[in-house]
Amino acid sequence: MTRKQKRGVMIGGGVAILGLALILVLFALKDSIVFFHTPSDIVEKGVPAGQRIRLGGLVEQGSVVRGQGTTISFKVTDTLKEIPVSFTGVLPDLFKEGQGVVAEGVLDGNGEFKADTVLAKHDENYMPRDVAKALEAKGVKLGASAHPGQLKAEMP
């Protein structure tokens, strides 16, 4: 092979790999990303049932009900609207009424949110940034302790 041909092989290989990666990335972005919504978003915009989303807000005071086995139901609120959530599993350490929470899952036909993952952040002062921002955008005043400015150090 001549020098040019060799270079051609190299460049061809590189372009092929990059192209493959690009296709993978585009497909993955189409299929596997999850949108974040607040309860008001869901009520106002209407999120189709069955679409995988993240729901963020505060756990409504007094709404946590521990049912049979490990199924737990509670309501996520942004103080304007609330969405009932059911979850089977073990809640994270910092799951508490009145605290910020992010649940991932799908809405069923009746407006209930079936979560398969519940995230509560690892600090009592901490409200997930998305939640804090979304709530502020809705005009909900947060106490100083709920501001991300209060975040504590985590793993570097």
User: Could you say whether residue 145 binds other proteins (CB under 8 A)?
Assistant: no
**Which of the 8 DSSP states describes residue 101?**
E
Q: Closest CB to other proteins among 34 and 50? A: 34
> How many amino acids of this chain bind other proteins (CB under 8 A)?
50
CA distance linking residue 87 with residue 105, whole number of Å: 9
User: Could you say whether residue 90 binds other proteins (CB under 8 A)?
Assistant: yes
Interacting span for other proteins (CB under 8 A) from 21-29, 42-50, 77-85, 105-113: 21-29
CA distance linking residue 144 with residue 156, whole number of Å: 24
User: Could you say whether residue 28 binds other proteins (CB under 8 A)?
Assistant: yes
List Cα–Cα distances, 103 to 43, 64, 81, in angstroms.
16, 14, 16
- Residue 52: strand, helix, or coil: strand
User: Could you say whether residue 46 binds other proteins (CB under 8 A)?
Assistant: no
User: Could you say whether residue 154 binds other proteins (CB under 8 A)?
Assistant: yes
Q: Closest CB to other proteins among 4 and 110? A: 4
Give residues 105-134 in contact with other proteins (rule: CB under 8 A). 121-124, 128-130, 134
- Residue 24: strand, helix, or coil: helix
User: Could you say whether residue 10 binds other proteins (CB under 8 A)?
Assistant: yes
CA distance linking residue 36 with residue 55, whole number of Å: 6
List Cα–Cα distances, 50 to 35, 84, 102, 107, in angstroms.
13, 15, 18, 6
- Residues in contact with other proteins by CB under 8 A are 1, 3, 6, 9-10, 13-14, 17-18, 20-21, 24-25, 27-29, 31-36, 54, 66, 69-70, 88-91, 93-94, 104, 121-124, 128-130, 134, 148-156
